[in-house]
Amino acid sequence: MERKKDFPNVLLVLSPEQFGLIKAFNKYANVFPYFIEPSSFIHVIHRVPGRIKANYKSFPLGILSLLGKILNRPHKLKIKHVKPEDIDLVFVSDPVVCKIDLKKYKNAVKAYWSQDCVYQSTFYTQLLSTKVQDYDIIFCAHKPYLECFKEFGVKTYWLPFAYDPMQARIQKVYMWK
Give the residue among 125, 123, 131, 130 at the shortest CA–CA distance from 148.
Answer: 123
Three-state SS for 111-170 is EEEECCCCCHHHHHHHHHCCCHHHCCEEEECCHHHHHHHHCCCCEEEECCCCCCCCCCCC
Question: How many domains, the chain?
Answer: 1
- Is it the case that residue 20 has pLDDT exceeding 60? yes
Give the per-residue pLDDT at 9. 94
pLDDT at residue 109 tops 90: yes
- What tens digit of pLDDT does each residue of 123-170 get? 666 665 567 778 899 888 888 878 877 877 778 898 887 655 555 666
User: Is 169 contained in some domain?
Assistant: no
CATH number at residue 134: 3.40.50
pLDDT band of residue 30 (cuts 50, 70, 90) is very high
In a domain, 15, yes or no: yes
Q: Is the pLDDT of residue 11 over 80?
A: yes
Residue 1 lies in a domain: no
Is residue 53 situated within a structural domain? yes
pLDDT tens-digit map of 31-75? 998 887 666 555 565 556 656 666 666 767 677 667 666 666 666
- How many C-beta atoms surround the C-beta of residue 62 within 10 A? 8
Share of the chain above pLDDT 70, in %: 57
Q: What is the DSSP letter of 38?
A: T
Kindly state whether residue 35 falls inside one of the protein's structural domains.
Answer: yes
Question: Global pTM?
Answer: 0.72
Query: Is 166 a member of any domain?
Result: no
Domain housing 20: 9-158
Asked if the structure places residue 83 within a domain, the reply is yes
- The whole-angstrom separation of Cα 89 and Cα 137 is 11
Answer yes or no: is 171 within a domain: no
pLDDT of residue 96: 67
H or E element, residue 109? strand 109-114
3-state helix, strand, coil in the chain (%, to 5): 30, 20, 50
